Structure 1
């Protein structure tokens, strides 16, 4: 296997005090953290021994040590938050400057090409496009106490220009046999043309060249709201939502994110709302009798309401010309109420044709279906949970969108999850955890929660937004309430968002947090206001 050279890139001046200095304005921003994609590739990259550096003509060893630390602020690359706590190659801060590790995957994600020559050293050049990436992590948190970086002693060229590391105010560093490169304003802006921003709350963010292929950033995904039952969806500047989901009056509305332009589209009790192009797709349910009424679509202007299928679908996801959904059947009736059991996963075209069964499981009884209600459609795959049956544990599976290659990923004791940038987040045994979608690596425990009623976490409420995982903490019955909290994707900074609310499911519309309240079986929608209050969207 051809060896690839590992190099690390640093960031500059993400610390507020440095913004006032002229030196910092010249070398201003830190870079966004990226995680390498595959350990096998990284091992190959590390195969180039650093002992070769001493053979470069005219470059003697520099013995001076550089005391570096882990950054105390969040970092984002192309919308993806960096888990620096568990990263195999953590970002560093030296002299107030953030340094980035330039592994092969980091360089590709940044849109940089790197090359190494024993005579001319390291060359870093800007490429036309960057690539999507998945971070390679380890279960143990990073600790660098007692470790120090060294100054790099080999020649470097950036976009063909020679860099004299001995004269650089922020020189290249070597840490754990990896080269780190300082991303000053001169590099991030002048040489690479990246868009960067920094503030004490949101940390450092960098947007590089346009990505070719790969998934959209997690912040643009519809899966998070769909995973929370889909009572709300966002498209452009508009929010499409069912404010009630009640036993009585129900409506499908649209409203601009600034609160203007409120318009009723239909009188349906809409669930699993998904907006694609000029159409709003949804399921409808008579909540009083618990009757699934089928799959519908309506134009975003409220015209052409059309029933696509009579299928009693519980959750839908629209991808291209296809609607993927959880198939159910009516299994029993009791006191004028219907009970459904999930059978598997199907797809149907958005025009109502081509219904196809993708997966049919075995429902052991009417209380335990063949699949969990939540499915995640990502790229070419559908991810879903197959519930346990008492003798066998639940299994996380993936299957291609054409129904082929059913692949068990891991046995698990959970039934709800979210997927963010190649990592699956879930709750198990009152622990918040994450695991790679590629499998093979052990899961990472982000936080342990107490088992008492006050601290129990409703992991079915798990939601992602802008580097944070949101969840409902605390249980309540007829009386009482719970709290909404958030934690960063690396398990740091647990923060209470709002307390004393009867929240069940969480949603985001732009940067607004909303939740459905639980009261006597109804699920009215509420917005958490900027001043920490709540505003009801319920219609009477």
Structure 2
């Protein structure tokens, strides 16, 4: 597991049995990381940087200058990132071949990259395009992207209050749209879909079937669901791990 201590502004790693805790880097306050192989890509004030999982080789890859960034995705040898008010770029993971892909008038950072396809929101509508900016295709209205898994795209909707609701999915070509559950998307882990409803966490098959309540634990921010554990943060800022049924709570230290 790789995680940050925001108070100490440091990056740590630890085995999943909670042994072998090691500090990898100081002056590390990033709240968003993507781990690919032996490399950690992370957001910083200058754009996107990378560091090896042993703590060596820290360097900036994307310098956005005075622009503000929405975030980034890593797919293969490319980093895809967006800047305000609505430009999407790609750059090689070694920092070369920076290319603007598209300018999108009503883009607000809602984007997922899978293979050679970018799924993104333009206003309240969901679109996709190739990673070279061609082949733009509208998939749906009023859709918020949650995840892309294989041939399926999982998404939610926004109600009049601006709140996310419902868990839906469609084929990545926009067909076979269906509502899987009422509630809010949480995570996908393997063959399981997790979502919250009425303060309960549910687990279901990826098609929404066999839904079952897992626990009723106050989790301000679910960081990840991996195997039989949930990693989450509370309002206090502390982070914990619990079993899926809510038992065996343990705090990160």
TM-score for the superposition, normalised by structure 2:
0.77
Cα pair 1:418 1:462 within 8 Å, conserved = no
Report the Cα distance in structure 2 between the residues aligned to 1:275 and 1:381, rounded to whole angstroms: 19
- TM superposition shift of 1:239: 1.1
Matched, 1:231 2:32: yes
The 5 A counterparts of 1:256-335 are 256-268=52-64, 269-285=68-84, 292-311=85-104, 312-328=107-123
Per-residue deviation, residues 12-61 of structure 1 (Å, max 9, x unmatched): xxxxxxxxxxxxxxxxxxxxxxxxxxxxxxxxxxxxxxxxxxxxxxxxxx
Aligned partner of 2:8 in structure 1 is none
- Residue 319 of structure 1 deviates from its aligned partner by 1.7
TM-superposed CA distance for 1:201, in Å, is 4.5
Q: In the alignment, is the contact (CA less than 8 A) between 1:272 and 1:315 conserved in 2? A: no
**Quick one: structure 1 residues 256 and 201, their matched pair in 2 at CA, closer, same or farther if it must change by over 3 Å?**
closer
Q: In the TM superposition, what is the alpha-carbon distance from 1:297 to its structure 2 partner?
A: 0.6
Q: Residue 371 of structure 1 corresponds to which residue in structure 2?
A: 143
Q: CA deviation at 1:271?
A: 4.1
In structure 1, how many angstroms separate the alpha carbons of the residues matched to 2:225 and 2:83? 26
- Spell out, residue by residue over 1:401-432, the C-alpha distance to the aligned partner (whole angstroms, 9 max, x if none): 111111111222x2x41011222223333323
User: How big is the shift at 1:385?
Assistant: 0.8
Equivalent residues in 2 for 1:126-525 (5 A)?
Answer: 201=17, 231-244=32-45, 250-268=46-64, 269-285=68-84, 292-311=85-104, 312-328=107-123, 343-360=124-141, 370-372=142-144, 374-389=145-160, 394-412=165-183, 414=184, 416-441=185-210, 443-449=211-217, 456-459=218-221, 461-474=222-235, 481-497=236-252
The CA deviation string for residues 371-403 of structure 1, in whole angstroms up to 9 with x for no partner, is: 33x42101111011113347xx93221111111
Task: Give the C-alpha shift of residue 300 in structure 1.
Answer: 1.1
Determine if contact 1:242/1:271 at 8 Å carries over to the other structure. Answer: no
Listed as ranges, the gaps of 5+ residues in structure 1 are 1-199, 203-229, 245-249, 286-291, 329-342, 361-369, 450-455, 475-480, 498-531, 533-540
Aligned-partner Cα distance in 2 for 1:424–1:388: 22
Distance change (3 Å), C-alpha of 1:279 and 1:297: same
Residues 283 and 315, structure 1, Cα contact 8 Å, conserved in 2: no
Offset from partner CA, 1:426-461 (integer Å, 9 cap, x none): 3333323222222343x3222223xxxxxx4214x3
Residue 386 of structure 1 contacts residue 395 of structure 1 at CA under 8 Å; is this kept in 2?
yes
Q: Going by fraction, where is strand more abundant, 1 or 2? A: 2
Q: Aligned pair in 2 of structure 1 residues 409, 422: CA closer, same or farther (>3 Å)?
A: same
Query: Once the two structures are superposed, what CA deviation does each residue of 1:67-112 show, in whole Å capped at 9, x if it has no partner?
Result: xxxxxxxxxxxxxxxxxxxxxxxxxxxxxxxxxxxxxxxxxxxxxx
CA offsets, 1:220-272, max 9 Å, x none? xxxxxxxxxx932122111111124xxxxx32111111111111112224444
Distance 2:216 2:62 in 1: 44
Report how many residues are paired: 219
Contact 1:240 1:273 in 2 (8 A): no
Question: SS at the partner of 1:324?
Answer: strand
CA contact (8 A) 1:469 1:487 kept: yes
Pair 488,271 (structure 1): closer, same or farther in 2 beyond 3 Å:
farther
Q: Hey, what's the Cα distance between the residues in 2 that align with 1:320 and 1:422?
A: 20
Q: Per-residue displacement from partner, 1:161-194 (whole Å, max 9, x unpaired)?
A: xxxxxxxxxxxxxxxxxxxxxxxxxxxxxxxxxx
CA–CA distance in structure 1, aligned partners of residues 81 and 216 of structure 2: 36
| Larger relative helix fraction | 1
* Preserved CA contact (<8 Å) 1:298 1:306: yes
Give the 3 Å change call, closer, same or farther, for CA 494–472 of structure 1 in structure 2. same
Alpha-carbon distance change, 237 to 466 in structure 1, aligned in 2, over 3 angstroms: farther
Calculate the aligned-residue CA RMSD, in Å. Answer: 2.5
Structure 1 segments, 4+ long, off by >4 Å, are: none
